Amino acid sequence: MELELSGIVIIVGAYGSGKTEIAINLAVHMHAKGTAVRLADLDLVNPYFRTREARHALNRLGIDVVLPPLQYMQADLPILTPEVAGMLRHPSGLTLLDVGGDDVGATVLAALADPMKGKTIQVLQVINPNRPYTDTVSGCLKMRKSIEAKAKMAITGIIGNANLMEDTTEQDILAGYAFSRKVSEAGNLPLIFITTPAALLTRLDKKDIHCPVLALRRQLVPPWKRAEALVPSG
């Protein structure tokens, strides 16, 4: 099943659910398919491991990353660059927003209501059952409610991200898929796609997975590890 996304897509979710890795890898995936992609780092709450750290890798591929001004890049200040409103007013093929975690991180979306007025927007909630507070269906739905309240926007779909970093197994992915289905049914929201570490993609038994699968190549790694090469997941 092919993963196709276009228009304005906003990635939200609990703190540490994997939004940034997904946004980066989704940008690369759609760019490789010939879609013009702009990715904005809207993480105003996290001090490290933000999209901005992958900016060089993304720029090399020709993906436009919208960031706070250079001199404030390493600050823990909630800086919303005016360029974001501009990109929302004139969206390109895929206009991707990587938002900060929890309801606190999603608060910034309420400030962008004006440029998004009248546009069709997909707001996708990343769920990771291996994280505290989103390990149950009710936990994920509670997170959804609190994000929607602060963002003043409705969530329109689910992204299942059952990763445990280097400890992730095929079993985790399959169990995570089943969990995502449950959240999708309970919340009456479509499951847009799930993710898997790229290294597991070929081994993964996909016959029972009825949604697209995005291969993740980890970018935000500590300095003793190397980021995986960003290549189209096809």
Partner 1 sequence: MAKVLMKGNEAIGEAAIRAGCLNYFAYPITPQSEVAEYLVRRLPEVGGVFLQGESEVAVGYMIFGAAGAGVRVFTTSSSPGISLMSEAISYIAAAQCPAVFVNIMRGGPGLGGILPSQADYLQATKGIGHGDCRLLVMAPASVQEAVEMVMKAFPLAEKYRNPVMILGDGLIGQMMEPVEFPDQLKTEPSNKDAWATNGMDHRKSKTRNLVKSLFLDPVQLNDNNLALKAKYDRMRAEEVMSESYNTDGDYKGLIVSYGTMSRVCRTAIDMLKTEGIDVGMIRPQTVFPFPEKAVAEAAMKPSCMHVLSIEMSMGQMIEDVERSVKGRIPVSWYGKCGGDIPTPEEVIDVVRERIA
Q: Which residues bind partner 1 (CB under 8 A)?
A: 15-16, 47-49, 74-76, 128, 130-133, 135, 163-167, 222-225
Least gap, CB of 146 to partner 1 (angstroms): 11
Nearer residue to partner 1 within complex by CB, 132 or 232 = 132
Nearer residue to partner 1 within complex by CB, 210 or 225 = 225
Least gap, CB of 225 to partner 1 (angstroms): 8
DSSP codes joined into one string, the chain:
------EEEEEEESTTSSHHHHHHHHHHHHHHTT--EEEEEE--S-SSS-GGGGHHHHHHHT-EEE-S-GGGTT--S----THHHHHHHS--SEEEEEEPSHHHHHHHHHTTHHHHTT--EEEEEEE-TTSTT-SSHHHHHHHHHHHHHHHTS---EEEE---BTBT--HHHHHHHHHHHHHHHHHHT--EEEEEEEGGGTTTS--TT--S-EEEE---S--TTSPPPP-----
Taking the CA atoms of the chain, what radius of gyration do you get in angstroms? Answer: 16
Nearer residue to partner 1 within complex by CB, 75 or 231 = 75
Least gap, CB of 70 to partner 1 (angstroms): 15
Read off φ and ψ for residue 56, nearest 5 degrees.
-65, -45
Residue the block writes with tokens 């540490």: 16
The answer to whether residues 144 and 187 touch, using CB atoms and an 8 Å cutoff, is yes
Least gap, CB of 52 to partner 1 (angstroms): 13
Least gap, CB of 51 to partner 1 (angstroms): 15
Least gap, CB of 169 to partner 1 (angstroms): 11
Nearer residue to partner 1 within complex by CB, 131 or 217 = 131
Nearer residue to partner 1 within complex by CB, 120 or 136 = 136
Nearer residue to partner 1 within complex by CB, 34 or 47 = 47
